[in-house]
């Protein structure tokens, strides 16, 4: 299946950005406070990031050409803004970063995005352009108002020269927030508050089926068909009360501050893994592979020593991790002038698990001056996805076997799980994590969770199943099913 996207023309986006306190204005106000209806987009870490409110435009596509289709649509949507601000572009040699020295982002539209894991998935990959983006970084906060100049409410005014401005933006945002407050889920109930009637059950790929899939995967690895394979399963949470998605997201921003909490079109979660971040000429990534459950493990310094011993000193864990790092750096390197990936991983401590982690930093080609000539965040995302961390090694053989063991044998389509999720702007900057430790809100009473594990020759089916339980724990806690 390949649906390159809607035949409707791309919007003609225009935006204005200005410094402003977070809406609400009270001391202690946070980005997470803007998550009120469950329809907002979000990208939050350590309390900073962005929340999208309202919808200015949306693009959906499927198939192998989904990244290219999204990139072409986005280029067309931001072309008008780029042309109108060309005279104000930075001089040659000045980095085009997301947040420059004055603390505000460049004047450029911004979209949130989520892409399906597999080329064959019928699940739509989406770009969501919020009407408002509320941002906070480096102690500064700002607002961006984004409009489609060809939309019915603006087309005649735009033809007369109108463009979005601050005074009208503040009036419009106040109206949107008032509407959102009126639609906010009631405080008396909602999954995530110990709500009544919460039920967890196996998904399409049962626990028994998962053990069998892991066993078959190990046998394929032992036969030399591939070196590493990542296999996933799903689980379903049903609630008698409507799921309070905003509360779930706010809980994740507090309990998993070191992760990137995301929300795009019903895909929610808190990922510890950064596929790629592009900020001007710099690209960064955080690669995770090698996992140890913290449930029942020692605490404090004893726990740290325990994790180092069972992760850093374990040949299986180190081998799995090195495959993931190499799969990313080998594909990223051709687009860089320099690249740093430490040989020794570090142990990342999260509330539910420990991971072996490596932070990669690179200098990109063609990223200097006012016009980017090299690849931006979305182009690099297409190059890098899927890495060995979510697919396997070799990539093509692993992807084919995933299709057989997950979809072919059990009917499991990962959909947006383990695909890229994040944001991009019109300058080529952006952040795309992997949609892990998350779920899809299927309706107001149903949430489908996903988790996967890296399989190598030494993998044990029971241990891998236990690891999926550990990886689902963040969402189960946020939903109110685990302490």
The reported pLDDT for the residue numbered 83 is 57
Percentage of residues in the chain with pLDDT exceeding 90?
77
Range 328-333 average pLDDT: 96
The reported pLDDT for the residue numbered 86 is 43
pLDDT tens sequence across 443-471: 999 999 999 999 999 999 999 999 999 99
pLDDT tens sequence across 220-258: 999 999 999 999 999 999 999 999 999 999 999 999 999
pLDDT tens sequence across 382-391: 999 999 999 9
68-88 burial, b at 16+ Cβ within 10 Å, e below that, comes to bbbbbbbeebbebbbeeeeee
More confident residue, 482 or 12: 12
User: What's the pLDDT band for 101 if we cut at 50, 70, 90?
Assistant: very low
Indicate which residues carry an active-site annotation. Answer: 228, 273
The reported pLDDT for the residue numbered 238 is 96
Beta strands in 247-350 (DSSP E): 260-264, 267-271, 274-279, 282-293, 336-340, 346-349
pLDDT tens sequence across 189-207: 555 555 568 999 999 999 9
pLDDT tens sequence across 272-320: 999 999 998 999 999 998 899 998 888 888 888 899 999 999 998 998 8
pLDDT tens sequence across 119-176: 999 999 999 999 999 999 988 999 999 999 999 999 999 999 999 999 999 999 999 9
User: What's the pLDDT band for 425 if we cut at 50, 70, 90?
Assistant: very high
The reported pLDDT for the residue numbered 366 is 81
The reported pLDDT for the residue numbered 108 is 74
How far apart are alpha carbons 413 and 116 in whole angstroms? 10
User: What's the pLDDT band for 179 if we cut at 50, 70, 90?
Assistant: confident
The whole-chain average pLDDT of the chain stands at: 89
The reported pLDDT for the residue numbered 299 is 86
Pair 348, 321: CB distance under 8 Å: no
The reported pLDDT for the residue numbered 368 is 65
Q: Which residues pair with 286 in a beta bridge?
A: 274, 359
| pLDDT at 90 > cutoff 70 | no
Total count of residues recorded for the chain: 483
State whether the Cα torsion 67-340-326-269 is positive or negative.
negative
Sole residue written with tokens 């995530």 = 192
Pair 56, 129: CB distance under 8 Å: yes
């Amino acid at each position: 299946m390949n649906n390159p996207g809607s035949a409707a023309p791309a919007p003609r986006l225009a935006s204005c950005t200005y410094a402003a306190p977070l809406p609400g204005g009270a001391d202690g106000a946070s980005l997470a406070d803007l998550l009120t209806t469950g329809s907002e987009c979000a990208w939050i870490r350590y309390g900073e990031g962005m929340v999208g409110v309202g919808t200015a435009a949306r693009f959906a596509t499927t198939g192998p050409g989904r990244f290219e289709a999204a990139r072409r649509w986005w280029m067309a949507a931001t072309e008008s803004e780029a042309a109108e601000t060309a005279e104000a572009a930075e001089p040659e040699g000045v980095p085009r970063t997301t947040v420059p020295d004055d603390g505000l982002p460049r004047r450029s539209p911004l979209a949130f995005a989520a892409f399906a894991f597999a080329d064959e998935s019928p699940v739509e990959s989406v770009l969501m352009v919020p009407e408002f983006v509320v941002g906070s970084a480096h102690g500064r906060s700002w607002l961006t108002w984004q409009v489609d100049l060809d939309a019915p409410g603006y087309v005649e005014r735009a033809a007369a020269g109108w463009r979005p401005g601050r005074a009208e933006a503040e009036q419009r945002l106040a109206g949107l927030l008032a509407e959102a407050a009126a639609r906010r889920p009631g405080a008396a109930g909602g999954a995530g508050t110990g709500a009544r009637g919460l039920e967890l059950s196996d998904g399409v790929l049962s626990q028994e089926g998962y053990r069998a899939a892991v066993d078959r995967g190990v046998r394929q690895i032992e036969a030399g068909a591939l070196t590493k394979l990542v296999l996933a399963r799903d689980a379903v949470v049903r609630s008698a009360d409507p799921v309070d998605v905003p509360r779930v997201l706010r809980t994740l921003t507090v309990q998993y501050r070191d992760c990137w909490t995301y929300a795009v079109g019903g895909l929610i979660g808190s990922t510890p893994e950064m596929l790629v971040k592009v900020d001007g000429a710099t690209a960064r990534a955080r690669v995770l592979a090698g996992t140890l459950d913290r449930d029942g493990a020692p605490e404090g310094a004893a726990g740290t020593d325990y994790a180092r011993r069972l992760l850093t000193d374990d040949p299986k864990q180190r081998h799995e991790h090195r495959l993931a790092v190499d799969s990313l750096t080998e594909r990223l390197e051709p687009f860089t002038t320099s690249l740093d990936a430490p040989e020794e991983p570090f142990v990342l401590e999260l509330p539910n698990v420990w991971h072996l982690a490596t932070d990669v930093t690179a200098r990109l080609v063609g990223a200097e001056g006012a016009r980017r000539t090299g690849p931006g965040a979305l182009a690099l995302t297409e190059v890098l996805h899927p890495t060995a961390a979510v697919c396997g090694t070799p990539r093509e053989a692993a992807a084919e076997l995933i299709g057989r063991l997950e979809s072919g044998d059990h009917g499991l389509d990962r959909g947006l799980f383990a695909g890229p999720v994040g944001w991009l702007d019109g300058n080529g900057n952006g952040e795309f994590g992997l949609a892990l430790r998350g779920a899809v809100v299927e309706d107001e009473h149903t949430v489908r969770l996903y988790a996967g594990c890296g399989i190598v020759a030494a993998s044990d089916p029971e241990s891998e199943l236990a690891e999926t339980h550990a990886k689902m724990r963040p969402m189960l806690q946020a939903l109110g099913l685990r302490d």
